[in-house]
Each structure stands twice: as structure tokens, then as C-alpha cells.
Structure 1
Amino acid sequence: MTDSLAIDAAETVDGRDQERGSDFARLSRRIVQAGLLERRHGYYALRLGLVAVCFVGGWAAFFAVGDSWYQLLVAIFLSLVFAQVALVAHDLAHRQVFRSRRSSEIAGLVAGNLSIGMSYGWWMDKHTRHHANPNHEDHDPDVAPDVLIWSVEQAAVSRGLSRFLGPRQAFLFFPLLTLEGFNLHVASFRALSRPSLRNRGLETALLVVHVAAYLAALFAVLSPGKAVVFLLLHQAIFGVYLGCTFAPNHKGMPMLRGAERLDFLRRQVLTSRNVSGGRVVDTVLGGLNYQIEHHLFPSMPMPNLRRAQPIVRAYCEELGIDYLESGLFSSYAQALRHLHEVGAPLRARGSVADPASSK
């Protein structure tokens, strides 16, 4: 597993100019001179403290409410808190909080594996590959045609579930997100079989402890029926929240494939979309609404992304590079429109096949 999530722009300027191009090097110098890569210890102390208080408070409320249908309100609250913990784990993986890998890893294992049952090592490996080649059909695991298809080329060779869902995938996208929480847990346990996974024994132990404690709490406090409903509601909203956080960032943006290559600056900017909306959206999406700035400078602390945006936008204008920012609902519409368009070949194939099959 690589550790490239924590790329520091200061190091990039010195050692990666050839790989990433002089355009990015000049932008990096502006960002470094503005002090936007410096750690924000006060901000993260407050943010991590608030998330921890909400996490503990949510479970305290769960035990206080007892065997009641009011627990569905607790399930909703805890699903939002779980998503915020996942966003904290994301920042830890990028070393936005701590500079050292060890400190980031320890905190990430507690936040990811122990707190919400998601493998920190598996997710970090997957996310590293995404950052290296966003929206590249051959290299970005986030656009692999496992369930949904993301290009007409994928539609042409689709098989199994993706072929079945493809014609109607735009309408199924949000319903499918209700399963994303379960998918993250399953993928985390499947990743434990990989010899390349760092700290595999510790990751396994923490995931097992999380699942055992979570299920024990539910079935000890609630009747079996209420426990199942709580679990389904909690995991469904958790999955929808995370899906709605990550979907606006790249879905519907240009796709790359084969040997198609862009320099680092253009590869990150042209495949990413920012989401406007002010500080409320910043908090809800964990800063990922500044996706362009985040992809260019992954180790930049979340609160600095807002300050980096005008620098990056102005620089892109200087170079004539398209810089896209949309509203939250507009970004979802663009993503759904893209899903519908790439499913068109499968819909056309089905309409051609129908008359023949009826004879």
C-alpha cells in the first residue's frame, strides 16, 4: 500500500516538477507562500472534540432511551455522527491533522475501524489510487463498473449486475446508496485477507470489536424487531450521507481511459467539481466541496481550502483551464444526467431486443 495521500506541496515543488509540470509548481509556490499548508491544530482539536462528544452522547442517549421506538431518532442522529467520523478519518489519512504517519494511522484506526467499522488501511489504499488517477477508467477504483457504469465504453462491455442496472441506474442511484454503509463494512472485512494490508492483525481485532459491541448493544437494549429496524435505518442513512458527500465531486466530470494523459494540474482540475454553498455546506460535506483544491493539495487542512480557492481559481483563469463550481443540487443533477446518458446504449439494446424476443 502506498502512502501518497499525504503529498506535501512544498516537497512537490522541489522534487516533482518534472512529473507534475511547471504549471503546478508555480501554483504550489503561491500556496506555500500564503501559508495554507500549515497545520491547524486548534481547529482540529475543536472539530475532533465535538465529533467525539456527539459520538459518546449519541450512544449515551441510546442506552438512556431504552427499548422504545424513539430510538429511531437516535439511529438518525448516530448515522450523521458516523459520517462525520468517516470524514475525520479522511482528513487523518491525508495527514491534515498530524504530520507523522504513525500518529495519523493510530487515530485513523480508532476513528475508522473501532468507531464506525470501516477498515482504515483498505480505504486509504483505495483512496490513494483514486487521487493518483481521478476518473480514469483503468486506474480509479471509484469508477470501476462493479454495480454502476460510468462511461459508454463500460456500457458496451458490461455484464451481470451492472448490465442489468445500467439502463435505469440514474433512477436507482440514491436508493442504492442506502446499501453503501453495508458495502463499506463488507469490503473492509474482505480486505483483511490481503497480505499487503498494513497492521492486518490490529485492523481485524478492531473491526471485530466494533461489530461485536455494536450488535451486542442493539440486541441487549432493544427487542429483536426494534434492533433490526434500528440497524437498517442507521446503516442506510449513513450510506446515503457518505454517498451524497462524495458523489458531487467527480461524477459527471470528464472520464479518462487507456493511455490518455494530462499533466497533474489539469488531471486534477478537469476531473473535479467544487460545490458552492457557504459554511453550512463546508461543515456538512467536511470540506470536500472544495474538491479541486483538495485534489491539488491533499494534505492541506480543511479550513484552509476555502482560502485557497480564490488563488487556485485565479490561476486556472490565467492558464485558460476550466474550473467548475456548481450548487449542491445542480451537482447531483449533473451526476444523474451523466449516469442516464451512459446507460443509453443499454436502453437502446433492450428496445431493439424486445420485438425479437416477443416473436
Structure 2
Amino acid sequence: MTAAAPTRTSPRPRGSDYADLSRRVSQVGLLDRRPAWYAARIVLTVGAYLAGWAVLLAGGDSWWQLLTAVGLAVAATQVAFLGHDAGHRQMFRTRRASETAGLLLGNLGVGLGYGWWMDKHTRHHANPNHVDDDPDVGAGALVWTEEQAAATRGFGRWLARRQAYLFFPMLLLEGLSLRVASVRSVINGPVKRRVVEGVLLAAHTAAYLGIVFAVLSPLRAVAFIALHQALWGLYMGCAFAPNHKGMPMFGPDDDLDFLRKQVLTSRNVRGGWFVDLLLGGLNYQIEHHLFPSMPRPHLRYAQPIVRGYCQERDLPYTEAGLIDSYAEALRHLHSVGQPLR
């Protein structure tokens, strides 16, 4: 169950709480890098991704290749998880190595713009679930507050009324949305290495389309691309949806320290090793937001420390099962659209 946030009249928490928690985590080595773990994970994940493309090349022109599209959608999302870790410097300590890995895994590997994602994701981490400053809860195809819903017009208003029912079908377009946003950012956005990112995105697109249309007939190629992109977007959206959706949201009048800002807006997802693999470690969202550079395999060990620390300070620590986390997100979307119904 989601615990209630403290009242807005509460006095401002002590700023030293996070420093105290950080010392506890650091003392047991959980902020240390894990190069061997990441080397193995990169080899296995990228190897599985390349193996999927090898199956496509070897399988020839057949409708059975749609099964390959399913496998490649899963593998591409796992590659994107590695790009996420690189962006947070979980793999490497230096910025150059992290950016190189992010560009290769993101732009070249799966066609997701590293510079665009870094700008958006950094702003999200700085102010999660902040109605003005978190781009992940800004009004768009979906609305996250009743104020955003009230401001919708036309088709957007129709969509907001039904967004809880349409959430998962809309995620089938998330892959296309990510690609369009990446290209737009390279053309006119907050990207530092515009030429490099553009070349890598173009190389990915050329290789992707070239291989698919070289192996498959036009009709099968279109079906393959549509299925692959739809499932990739669905998987990506489902991996990020449980983390903050349905959790408390704050505005400019709320004054929270870093610890409470991150803990109160984040939700962990229970489920053991399978959920760890399925969600790429993002199921430890509270720990990840508190310590973004913590290597993925250390998050599970940090969890009891963080949970215990929150209990010491009577700070709500929210966990839910995978299905329940989606249900809470959908309930929030449904309640936001209620005034329009």
C-alpha cells in the first residue's frame, strides 16, 4: 500500500539526515564500482541482442520472424537499461567513459538519443513528481493532475477522461515517441555532441531498416518493425511506470529536503530476482533515487539499510508488488480524469 505523505504544514526536516544515511551506505562499500559485474552483464546483454539479429539474418523470409521481433524487443530494453546505468555513472567513474558507453548503447544500439535522455532524466531526478519541474509528469498525451486535465481541450480532453483504460495501449506508441524525441533533440535540443549523436542515430536507423528489408519481404518487414517497436515501447513504459506514478506530487510551495523529496515520491516493486532482471534494477527506485551512481547489483543490499533508516525517522517507505504498482498508477490516472467525466 502507498503510505500517505506528511502534511504540508510539517516543519522542514533536518538537512543532515541524508548525509547520515549516505555515510552508512558508503561505509559498507555499496557506492564502490563493480567493473567485473558490468563487464559480464554487457557481454551477456549485448551478446543476446546481437544473437537476435543473427537469428533474423539466418531465419530468412518467414512469418516466424515475428517471434524474433518479440525477442529483440526484450533484448533492446535490456540494452537500454545498461545505457541508463551508464548515464548515472554506475559503470565508470569518469564522464568520458560513461558518455561513450551511453552513446554506443543508446544511439547506436537501440536508437535512443543519449543527450536527450540525459537532459530529461537529470531533471526528473532533481525534482521527482514536481508538477512544474519534473518532465515526466508534465502535461502531454497523459495528464497527471486535475489542473492539467482541466486545461485539456478537444481530443486531449476526450483522452484524459479515458486515460486509465488507454494507458497500456498508448504505451505501444512509446517506442516511436522516444525515437521522434531523440531526433528532434539532435536537430534542435539540449544536445552537446549534436553531430556525433546524429551520426550514430542515422547509423542505427540505416542498419536496422537495411537488415529488416534485406531479409524480409516488404509486408513482413513492416509487420516485423511494427511489432518490434510496439513491444519495445510497451516494455520500456512498463519498466518506468511503477516507480512514481500514483505517488505524492509536490509543487512550488512544498519545501522538502533531498531525502524526503526522493523517498516520498518513489515506490519500490517487490518480486525477487526475476523482477530485478525484468525491471533492470529500477524496482529499487527509492535506493536508486537516493544514490543514482550506486551500481545496480548493490541496490538490493542498500534496501534494508534505507528501509531501516526511514523507519527510524518515521518516514513512509513504499513498496508494492508488480501488479499492485500498476494498479496504483492506473487508479491515479483514473482519479485525475474523474472531474472530466
- TM value normalised by structure 1: 0.90
- Give the structure 2 partner of residue 238 of structure 1: 232
Q: Is the 8 A contact 1:145 1:162 kept in 2?
A: no
Give 5+ residue unaligned stretches, structure 1.
Answer: 1-18, 348-359
- For the 8 Å contact 2:115–2:190, the answer to whether it is kept is no
**Contact kept in structure 2, 1:20 and 1:264, CA below 8 Å:** no
Verify: 1:136 aligned to 2:130, yes or no.
yes
Distance 1:160 1:252 in 2: 25
Counterpart-to-counterpart distance in 2, 1:159 and 1:37: 47
CA–CA separation in structure 2 for the residues paired with 1:271 and 1:299? 19
Q: Is contact 2:92-2:98 (8 Å) kept?
A: yes
2:200 corresponds in structure 1 to 206
1:165-204 map, 5 Å: 165-194=159-188, 196-204=190-198
Q: Deviations over 1:205-233 (max 9, x none)?
A: 00011111111111111100000000000
- 1:158 & 1:310 partners in 2: Cα distance? 42
The answer to whether residue 34 in structure 2 is matched with residue 40 in structure 1 is: yes
CA shift at 1:164, angstroms?
2.3
C-alpha distance in structure 2 between counterparts of 1:312 and 1:342, whole Å: 31
Change (3 A) 1:27 1:259: same
**SS of alignment partner, residue 343 of structure 1:** helix
Tell me the residue number matched to 1:156. Answer: 150
Question: SS of the residue aligned with 1:211?
Answer: helix
Question: One-letter code of the match for 2:326?
Answer: Y
Change (3 A) 1:297 1:160: farther
How far residue 263 of structure 1 moved from its aligned partner, in angstroms, is 0.7
Supply the distance in 2 between the matched residues of 1:164 and 1:259 (Cα, whole angstroms): 31
Structure 1 runs, 4 residues or longer, greater than 3 Å off: 159-162
Alignment pair present for 1:96 and 2:65 = no
Match of 1:220 in 2: 214
Aligned to 1:264: 258
Evaluate the alpha carbon distance shift between residue 204 and residue 68 of structure 1 in structure 2; reply closer, same or farther with a 3 A threshold: same
Which segment drifts farther, 151-160 or 207-216? Answer: 151-160
Mapped contact 2:163–2:333 kept (Cα < 8 A): yes
Residue 257 of structure 1 and its aligned partner are, at CA, apart by 1.6
Secondary structure of the structure 2 residue equivalent to 1:135: coil
* Aligned pairs for 1:12-31 within 5 A: 21-31=15-25
Shift of 1:259: 2.9
Indicate conservation of the 8 Å contact 2:266/2:318, yes or no.
Answer: yes
Looking at structure 2, the residues matched to 28 and 281 of structure 1 have their Cα atoms a distance apart, in angstroms, of: 26
* SS of corresponding position for 1:293: helix
Q: Which residue of 1 aligns with 2:8?
A: none
Native 8 Å contact 1:170 1:337 kept in 2: yes
* Partner of residue 320, structure 1: 314
Q: Select which of 323, 334, 341 maps to 1:340.
A: 334
In structure 1, how many angstroms separate the alpha carbons of the residues matched to 2:103 and 2:303?
31
- TM-score, normalised to structure 2, is 0.95
Looking at structure 1, the residues matched to 200 and 237 of structure 2 have their Cα atoms a distance apart, in angstroms, of: 24
Question: What's the CA shift for 1:158?
Answer: 2.2
Seq. identity, %: 61
Contact 1:276–1:327 (Cα < 8 Å) also in 2: yes
CA contact (8 A) 1:20 1:265 kept: no
State the alpha-carbon separation in 2 of the partners of residues 140 and 181 from structure 1. 21
Map Cα deviations across residues 220-269 of structure 1 (whole Å, 9 max, x no partner): 11100000000000001101111110000000000112332211100000
- CA–CA separation in structure 1 for the residues paired with 2:332 and 2:156: 15
Deviations 1:134-165 (A, max 9, x none): 00110000011111010112112223543220
Native 8 Å contact 2:116 2:189 kept in 1: no
Indicate the RMSD between aligned Cα atoms, in angstroms: 1.3
Aligned partner of residue 187 in structure 2, secondary structure: coil
Aligned residue pairs, count? 330
User: Contact 1:181–1:238 at 8 Å: present in 2 too?
Assistant: yes
